[in-house]
Every structure is written in structure tokens, then in C-alpha cells.
Amino acid sequence: MIRKFLQVAALAAAVLAAALPIIPARAAGPATPNPEAKPMDLTHTALLIIDIQNDYFPGGAFELEGSEAAAGQARAALDLFRERGLAVVHVRHESVRPGSTFFLPGTPGADIHPLVAPAPGEAVVRKHFPNSFRETDLQAKLQALGVQRLVVAGMMTLMCVDATVRAAADLGYGVTVLSDACAARGLEFSGEKVPAAQVHAAFLAALGMVYAQVEPTAAFLAQARGE
């Protein structure tokens, strides 16, 4: 009885399978591009590169964690801005405070790193304070260029990037911070050591609350290219 039931069930399954159309499996492949996607309008936008200088790199007087990788991401953004003929402003720190040990005037460590070195015609601002607007002509240069929005890459996340982004927002600029195009250094507070990655994340998280849009370089570049 059971055997006969199984034979009937198998026959029914075979008939059903023969009656159904065969649907071939779809091969995996890249996502279909969105035909409606358009490159981001970067009119009135400038790339602001802050203090990517030799002393922050291996062998320098004040090495940061991940400085080489961050500079590589900054270069990717720089290439896009140069391709589009958009404004680029470099900020270079010189330490004149008594007791300073890095970014000393006239030393190789104070030079902008070759990976993001200014091209002819690109503005360079020299500063002596964490806030790139303080006692510099940065604001005047941006106004002359008609800049309304800044895309920021640089070092250190916890100091000059933070101070400059907050000042820029207070001055009315829209700001995007490229999170992986910035680098930080570990800190210590009340005997507790805070790793560089945590310092970096905490400062970016705080900026992202009010002062800036914070995103990885690849995400920004994809939007900029309409991908």
C-alpha cells in the first residue's frame, strides 16, 4: 500500500515537473548602473588639505598612526579635484611656540608630504595655530575663489582637523570630512591610554553630530562621479 502511494506520488511529481517551464539560473555579475545617476555638483566646493607634512610620517618627529594610508586617500580626492579643475587649498603648519619639537620652520619635517604636494597655482596657507582660519588669509582665499563648501582631509584628526572644521562650520561653510583621509595619534588621560583608532573615531563622531558630514573617501568619490 505504502509502495503504491509512493509510486503515484513520484509519477505526479514527474508530470508536474514536465509541465513547468525551465527557468535558467541568473549568473552573478556587477550591479546594473543607475542610468539616472549624475555626477555630484561640486561648484563652489574646495578641497582643503590640512597639515599632511613629513613629520607625521614614519621617520618623522611626530609620527601618526595610519598617516601613509590617510595620505593615499587624500591623494585620491586631490586627483579628482584636479581633474575637474576645482579649487584646492593646502594648509601648512609651522610651529613657533617655545619648546616645539616638530614642524619647525626651515626643517624638512615641516614640508608638505610629496604625495599631496601643491601643484602650480594651488593656494597654500601657512598657519601657527590648530584653527587654520586663525591669523591666516584662509578665509580671504576661500572668498576670492567663491567657495561655499569644503571637503577636508588632513592631520591630526584630534587637533587641527577638528579645530578647522568647527571654525569653518561656524563661518557658514558646508563641510564634508573624508574620514579615512585623516590620521590621529594615541592619547593618555588620567593614566588611561586611549588608542589612536579610538581617538580618531571619537573626534569624527563628534564632528558628525553637528559640524560636518563624515564619510569615507571612496563613498565621496563615487557620489562625485555619479556611480
pLDDT tens sequence for the chain (227 residues) = 433 333 333 443 343 334 434 333 344 444 455 556 689 999 999 999 999 999 999 999 999 999 999 999 999 999 999 999 999 999 999 999 999 999 999 999 999 999 999 999 999 999 999 999 999 999 999 999 999 999 999 999 999 999 999 999 999 999 999 999 999 999 999 999 999 999 999 999 999 999 999 999 999 999 999 99
Supply the Cα-derived Rg of the chain in whole angstroms: 26
What are 116's strand-pairing partners?
none
What are 193's strand-pairing partners?
188
Q: In this structure, are residues 111 and 51 in contact, taking their beta carbons and an 8 Å threshold? A: no
Tell me, yes or no, whether 29 lies in a domain: no
Tell me, yes or no, whether 26 lies in a domain: no
Tell me, yes or no, whether 32 lies in a domain: no
Tell me, yes or no, whether 7 lies in a domain: no
Which pLDDT score is estimated for 1?
A: 41
What 3-state DSSP class applies to 218? helix
Q: How far apart are CA 64 and CA 26, in angstroms?
A: 48
Instruction: Provide the domain count of the chain.
Output: 1
* Phi, psi for 225 (deg, rounded to 5): -95, 0
Nearest residue to 42 (alpha-carbon basis) of 118, 123, 148, 132: 148
Which pLDDT score is estimated for 33?
A: 54
Tell me, yes or no, whether 94 lies in a domain: yes
25 alpha carbon, distance to own chain's centre: 39
CB atoms within 10 A of CB 61: 16
Tell me, yes or no, whether 192 lies in a domain: yes
* Element holding 151 (H helix, E strand): strand 149-155
Q: 196-210 and 162-170 are packed helices; what angle lies between their axes, rounded to 10 degrees?
A: 0
Tell me, yes or no, whether 132 lies in a domain: yes
Residue 55: all three cell numbers together: 613629520
Q: How far apart are CA 86 and CA 29, in angstroms?
A: 35
Nearest residue to 183 (alpha-carbon basis) of 196, 193, 194: 196
Q: How far apart are CA 185 and CA 57, in angstroms?
A: 11
Range of 110's domain?
Answer: 40-225
| CATH code for position 71 | 3.40.50.850
DSSP state of 108: G
Which pLDDT score is estimated for 38?
A: 84
What residues act catalytically?
51, 127, 160
Tell me, yes or no, whether 33 lies in a domain: no
pTM of the model: 0.84
Q: How far apart are CA 143 and CA 35, in angstroms?
A: 36
